[in-house]
Amino acid sequence: MRSFALIVLLASFAASAAAQEPAATPAEPGREAVERLESLGELETDRDSFTPATSVVGRNRVVVEAAYSFLENRGIKETHSLPELLIRFGVTERLEARLGWNYEVGGVGNSITGVDAGDENPERSRKSLIREHALAYGFKFRLVEQDRFIPRSALIVQGFTPTGSNEEHATATQVVATLVAGWEFANRWRFDTALRYGTESEDGDRFNQWAPSAVLKIPIRETWSIHSEYFAIASSGREVNGVKHYFSPGLHWLVTPNLEVGVRLGWGLNDDSTRFFTNVGFGGRF
C-alpha cells in the first residue's frame, strides 16, 4: 500500500505541474487533428530498447506496445515472457499514464525489458519453474526538451503487483523509477542514457536494484534504424550482491509514422547474467 500511495502522490505532483502548461489556441477540429498528428513526428516506443524513449505520447494520444521475450539462462530453465503489454495514454503534453500486464514462465524472471521488476535469483529458482503474471501501473513525465547541450529528459515511475504466481514470495509490490536523458543530432542519430532504480524482495528481505544503460540509435534508411546498447543490473543491500552486464543490438522498422516493429538480441557478458536473449514486438499509436 505504501508503494501504491507513493506512485499516486508522485503522479499527482506531475499532473499539477503539467496542468500549468499554457492553453492551446482554438482551431478548426479537422485541421487541428491533422496538425497534431504531424507535430507528433515518428513514433518512439519504450520497448525499442532496455533504455526507454525520452519522449511522451502527447495529449489524448494512446500508444499500445506488446512483445515476446526469450531468455536462455545459464544452468536453469529458459524464460518466456509475453505479451509484455503496455498501454500509454497522454494526459497532457508532458504527462502520460501507463498500464501494463505480463506473464512469465521459466527459471528466472525477465529483467531485460521494462515490463516487470525483474527477479533474477537462480539459486531460488533451480528447484522449480516460476510461473508469474503481474500488473504494471504508473506514469511518465517529460522534464525538459533538448536545448543544445541540455538533453531531453523524462521520469518514469511504475509499480509492479503480482496478480498470480506459483511462488509464495511473489506477493509484494515493487516500485521502479527510471530517469532517462538523451540527445538527437543533426544526422538523426540519437544517444540516450538511463538509470533505473527499483526495490526488490527475497524471502522477506528487501534490497535495492540499480540498472544503468546507454544506447546509440542510427537510422540506416528512411524507415529503418539500428541500435547498439549496453546495460547492467546490480543489487545492493542483499546478503550476496551481484551485477550482470549485457550487450544488445537491435533492428527497427517504422511501417508507418504510427506503427513500429522491431527485434532485439542480447548477450550476457559475465557468468551471472543470462547467456542470450531475444525480444520481438511492435508499437502502435492511436
217 CB burial (10 A radius; 0-12, 13-18, 19+):
buried
- 108 part of a folded domain: yes
- 101 part of a folded domain: yes
- 34 part of a folded domain: no
Please provide the DSSP assignment of 59-102 as one string.
TT-EEEEEEEEEEE-SSS--EEEEEEEEEEEESSSSEEEEEEEE
Domain count, the chain: 1
pLDDT tens readout for residues 129-143 = 788 889 999 999 999
Amino acid at 102: N
- 72 part of a folded domain: yes
Q: Which domain holds residue 226?
A: 2-21+43-285
- 26 part of a folded domain: no
* Cβ-based neighbours of 233, under 8 Å, separated by 6 or more: 111, 118, 120, 209, 210, 211, 243, 244, 246, 273
- 96 part of a folded domain: yes
CATH number of the domain that residue 151 is part of: 2.40.160.40
Spatial separation of the C-alpha atoms in residues 122 and 126, rounded to whole Å: 6
Query: What is the full per-residue pLDDT of the chain (286 aa) written as tens digits?
Result: 444 444 544 554 454 544 454 444 444 444 554 445 445 678 999 999 999 999 999 999 999 999 999 999 998 999 999 999 999 999 999 999 999 999 999 988 888 986 655 555 544 444 567 888 899 999 999 999 999 899 999 999 999 998 887 666 556 788 999 999 999 999 999 999 999 999 877 666 778 999 999 999 999 999 999 999 999 999 998 878 899 999 999 999 999 999 999 999 999 999 999 999 999 999 999 9
Give me 252's grid cell: 527497427
- 204 part of a folded domain: yes
- 170 part of a folded domain: yes
